């Protein structure tokens, strides 16, 4: 089990949804792994200590709130900060922003499902000037799907949740590699279509 979350598990039973929401909110701003906490919450729900529905709602709301905060900051202050530090957006970065604008819904949704890409996807969505309402809709759908999958994993494996939790890191890396490969192939196809 992740040493960072070991002390939090006992507090999860005491502070329940407030601790779950707080940890999830922080993970939306600072990339800390919360998969173990979500799987544990699902396991605790299977044993009657937590409500699966309230865990899903509180974790999703906290993650969406953090994502939306980062999105608004990137949207409002990203371009001026880049200009202040004289950071020139390369042709590739501009091309990625254009790609995200053209495929915003699926990009936002899928980046919620792969740890490590969610914060980058949020920042790029802000820089690409995606509509805030559009971002909220797809961010909520993607976060709900990701969080529900982890909670249900813990719920269905119940007392054996730690065995599953130990393997989520490997699965996460595989999903990250698959998502990056899919993005690269899709992006290359997008470039060829727009250049020809």
| More confident position, 66 or 99 | 66
**Measured between alpha carbons, how far is 118 from 143 in angstroms, rounded to an integer?**
9
Judge whether 120 lies within some domain: yes
Report the number of distinct structural domains present in the chain.
1
What pLDDT is stored for residue 86 in this prediction?
66
Tokens for 187?
């992006």
Q: Classify residue 131: in a domain, yes or no.
A: yes
60 located within any domain: yes
Give a yes or no: residue 155 inside a domain.
yes
What's the mean pLDDT when you consider all of the chain? 81
CB atoms within 10 A of CB 3: 6
Query: In the prediction, which pLDDT does 171 show?
Result: 55
**Nearest-5° Cα angle at 69, 68 to 74:** 95
Residue 50 lies in a domain: yes
The average pLDDT across 13-23 equals 91
Q: Is residue 126 a part of any domain in this protein?
A: yes
Q: Which residues contact 122 (CB under 8 A, 6 or more apart)?
A: 67, 70, 71, 74, 111, 139
Q: Kindly tell me if the per-residue pLDDT of 2 is higher than 60.
A: no
pLDDT score for 112: 87
Domain annotation covers residue 1? no
Q: What is the pLDDT of residues 139-163, one digit of tens each?
A: 999 999 999 999 998 898 877 666 5
Q: 163-196: per-residue pLDDT in tens? A: 565 555 555 555 556 666 666 666 666 667 766 5
Q: According to the model, what pLDDT value does residue 151 have?
A: 93
Confidence (pLDDT) at 88: 67
b/e 35-64 (16+ beta carbons within 10 angstroms → b):
bbbbbbbbbbbbeeebebeebbebbbbbbb
- pLDDT, tens digit (0-9, with 9 covering 90-100), for 31-82: 777 888 898 899 999 999 999 999 999 999 999 999 999 999 999 988 777 7
Q: Please indicate, yes or no, if residue 61 is contained in any of the structural domains.
A: yes
Task: Name the residue range of residue 27's domain.
Answer: 6-195
């Amino acid at each position: 089990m992740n040493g960072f979350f070991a002390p939090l598990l006992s507090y999860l039973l005491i502070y329940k949804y407030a601790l779950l929401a707080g940890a999830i909110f922080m993970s939306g701003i600072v990339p800390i792994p919360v998969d173990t906490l979500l799987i544990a919450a699902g396991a605790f729900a299977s044993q009657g200590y937590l409500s699966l529905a309230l865990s899903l709602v509180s974790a999703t709301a906290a993650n969406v709130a953090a994502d939306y905060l980062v999105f608004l900051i990137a949207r409002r202050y990203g371009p001026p900060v880049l200009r202040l530090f004289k950071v020139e957006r390369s042709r590739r970065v501009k091309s990625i922003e254009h790609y995200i604008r053209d495929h915003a819904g699926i990009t936002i949704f899928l980046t919620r499902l792969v740890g490590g890409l969610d914060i980058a996807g949020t920042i790029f969505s802000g820089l690409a000037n995606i509509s805030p309402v559009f971002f909220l809709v797809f961010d909520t759908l993607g976060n709900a799907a990701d969080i529900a999958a982890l909670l249900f994993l813990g719920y269905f494996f119940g007392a054996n949740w730690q065995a599953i939790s130990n393997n989520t890191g490997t699965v996460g890396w595989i999903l990250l590699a698959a998502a990056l490969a899919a993005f690269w192939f899709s992006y290359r196809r997008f470039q060829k279509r727009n250049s020809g």
